């Protein structure tokens, strides 16, 4: 299990492919052979921009999510970290 | 003679809500494709 900290920097795993879909996006991990369905286009923006921000929380804020509404997105990013779709990086 | 029109549009409009392929309240759902060999 990956320890997730939304205040740390994350990025997509290099073995993960992203395919935008009308409902959000599909992520496929070539290493674990897992698929993740992102059911929100804003979450797709968050995931794609993780590597450009100093923390997951900053990426969520940059996608236009106010702090008061961020918790579902933090939870979604936590889920992606637990399945290694995203990995921690140096800020 | 009566004319019946049959809707033929199959793609959603931009402003149409598209259903997710899976049902859940969460923003992320995960599945493993292990064991799906033979499905092409």
* 8 Å CB contact between A21 and A33: no
CA gap A61, A65 in Å, rounded: 5
The parent domain of residue A64 ranges over 10-88
In a domain? residue A81: yes
Q: Which residues contact A73 (CB under 8 A, 6 or more apart)?
A: A42, A43, A46, A60, A63, A65, B27
Q: Between chains, do B22 and A37 touch, taking CB under 8 Å as contact?
A: yes
pLDDT value at residue B26: 87
In a domain? residue A50: yes
**Nearest neighbour of A36 by CB, restricted to B18, B20, B28:** B28
Q: Which residues contact A51 (CB under 8 A, 6 or more apart)?
A: A10, A11, A12, A89
In a domain? residue A62: yes
SS (H, E, C) chain B: CCCCCCCCCCCCCCCCCCCCCCCCCCCEEEEECCCCCCCC
Q: What is the DSSP string of A56-91?
A: HHHHHHHTT--GGG-HHHHHHHHHHHHTTSEEE---
Q: Between chains, do A35 and B31 touch, taking CB under 8 Å as contact?
A: yes
CA gap B20, B4 in Å, rounded: 31
Tell me the shortest Cα–Cα distance from A22 to chain B, in angstroms. Answer: 7
ipTM field = 0.80
In a domain? residue A5: no
Number of domains present in the structure of chain A: 1
In a domain? residue A4: no
In a domain? residue A21: yes
In a domain? residue A56: yes
Residue A53: CATH number of its domain: 3.90.930.70
* 8 Å CB contact between B29 and B23: no
In a domain? residue A16: yes
CA gap B31, B15 in Å, rounded: 28
pLDDT value at residue A43: 97
pLDDT (tens digit per residue) in B1-40: 556 555 555 555 555 545 444 444 589 999 887 766 555 5
pLDDT, tens digit only, all 91 positions of chain A: 568 999 999 999 999 999 999 999 999 999 999 999 999 999 999 999 999 999 999 999 999 999 999 999 999 999 999 999 999 998 7
């Amino acid at each position: 299990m990956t320890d997730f900290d939304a205040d740390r920097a994350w990025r997509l795993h290099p073995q993960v492919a992203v395919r935008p879909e009308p409902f959000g996006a599909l992520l496929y991990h070539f290493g674990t052979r897992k698929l993740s369905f992102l059911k929100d286009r804003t979450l797709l923006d968050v995931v794609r921009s993780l590597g450009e921000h100093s923390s997951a929380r900053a990426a969520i804020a940059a996608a236009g999510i106010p702090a008061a509404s961020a918790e579902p997105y933090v939870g979604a990013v936590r889920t992606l970290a637990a399945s290694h779709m995203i990995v921690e990086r140096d800020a | 003679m009566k004319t019946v029109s049959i809707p033929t549009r199959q793609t959603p409009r931009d402003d149409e809500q598209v259903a997710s392929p899976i049902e859940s309240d969460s923003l992320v759902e995960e599945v493993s494709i292990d064991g799906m060999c033979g499905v092409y």
